[in-house]
Chain A
């Protein structure tokens, strides 16, 4: 069952419209919320006139933050699966983030909330609220924000809110020894998650049980529970957060937004169910984005293509409130060298606040920036030396003989980055074969003679996933033999209900059809974290495995007593429990579960019933990796890029379900394609959003996505019982670098491509100026 491409168990529910998303939560007496949002990127809120709004038919209340003491609360400083130890960071300044601010620091920041009998009336109410602003000068880019005369986003706080540095080896010496020194400025853009389901939250105070029920799209629902319980001074278990069916997350929902907390607080006070669902407009303007990142990089190399050292300065826009200290830059650093040896590295980074919505991770979370930098560097070295890009890569690649290999970086769990049991040259060779690299190099010349511009780009990535601290699982068998797996994590579309069931079926010997997986509800598991950082398969997957093994041990112990055999002789397959060899002597998991309720033997096996809870603590992250090769054709008159061939070779350890892995890679690739060719959040100088709708914000559509040639290579990890690694954030990392390199190559080296996305306009402009 493990490793089989079985269809997804959750598909029936989703395809027939039976999923329960937050907007499907409909309760008697429900009220609806809509937010009044700042029109300015930086302005004091001098007065909020709510009188007219209160008189709008259907409006029940207009809340401005002064009504109850708990509304003066602030959001937790750090979010989700953040830096556990920060070996590189030497300063970080966290600014209180109020639910209802006195000063708006970005366009779309919440100022007041209208509660009404319908969503329509709530929107009418918002329009009737009059806000008096005192506008202040705003800064919308890091270049402006670091100027000495720049307005301060937060009074008394420098706009540079965090700083880090790290050095491996002796960079000065590497540059002294260098035969070639190259310098580049590389730029990547800010991105929106653009999930099909925007953010949403619903809440209901249940007087009878003293429970505040919350339905949320949050990826880290336990974090939300803690925040709500903390503000309301309730026991954590009196707040039940349900986040089961979620239409996409991609990092943006891994953050606590003010609305996530405000709605439950108001529902609790009004004692009426309350729901808010973000509109696409709000998503585009007010929700978090990933933040522009600019790298100034110097490379020291020898004429034979050997890289001696790298000196990197990183500037990151983190928006008005930085809830992730320097996590994204740390991810960039820890993924920077990908498959290659860079013996001497010095990095320095700045997190710079701007008058834009707060920054948060976007699928890839700093890895796209790392890969784009390393591959642009390798290609620059190839150009400077006249070597083929593949040869430069082979010159610097980490080989199996180098394993275990440490590149001198420290992961954010405090453990040194260590590659082991990975064959990077094999991945490169496989990609080269699948791409028919030599053939395309020949064709490139032929096509060029015919006036066609063909280019080839190569990119390699690593993906650390499975970040701890841990996740848990409870596996139980009922009297009919049906198995329930409860996990703390939730799903935004990752297929947990299938893959975790496969793990359980494999470990327990139960039929997959009899296994249901429940998650995304804090009442199922008292302790859990959530879904993000490509952590569920490793953490929750191995927890399910351990719990299923523990239940199996109980089954075996009880069955050996009942069937009169030794434990070694007990066999479990397809829900049937039997004695090896003696086919007539058998029982079922259900029958054993029934007997386990009353059988005294269970007293020594942990108590009644066939149930066990286990937690899995990873030692550190696992390292997935891959190589991508893109062949593109550029229309020199229009700047249009056509992808002729795309090869994606990757390792994610043992695939739990290859179909699910394919889906993860294809989805991630598509996001990478967007990053390569057009996705970009654009603010003007005043901090107004220019990319405010899908008319202007590019997202690839199905017709834009080329056929991918996927190749799974499996290097199992010894670090967990299942030998699995992560895959969720593998997809987007390399496509931007591979496609950018291919475009640069297609243009014959006339222009260097150092900025993402490579838009049609960028190509036209580059060709005009070359």
Chain B
């Protein structure tokens, strides 16, 4: 029954106290659980190790070599990833062509494939005999260049995963960019290549830095493909992720934890540096 007299409170003016507070409490609670998990893991690592363990680990020449190879290989594979991902991301974002879906699916394979399988596939690729010809042998005989179980294998194993992530980042960057500016440049005389180089690419600076960051971080964490394809030879193909494995397998848990924390420290420093570089680029 519709009231015809008495006080009727307008619907829009009803007080709904605390609705925002509850919202932020629920959202904050769910979000902080993940952050808390990471913080607790790091604190547990710190509690487990000591400064002396850390020093001892850092003084080992094989770990020092692993640090340098890690920094170098991650940087090279990240640069290579962005170099390849930029044109590939642009083509996927801008053009519809036959087999595009297939290319799109193939790029995702290194992301979904178990890391060990990826390493095994790389190993097979370089050692498969085709009519008496083998890629690894050809590279060694022709260029005196060893890939498998040497430092190039470390970079290639890192690159094969990191590049897939970089392509995703670059594709998203170009998809969010207004393609019309490139069209206008073409009506004024630019070729497609010039429109890409001088109109699209300068706008993609931030996306390229993001792709570089993701690739670098992925490369740092890569373990499975490196172990299978490059091996884990001390002073030769050992990187920090495989150091943790080697120290663990010899029962040296304090050293493994110390190296793990070192990896966290290196990752944080590099990521902060790249973020700062990114904010400079935005400015």
Q: Do A and B belong to a common assembly?
A: no
Chain A residues at the B interface, C-beta cutoff of 8 Å: none
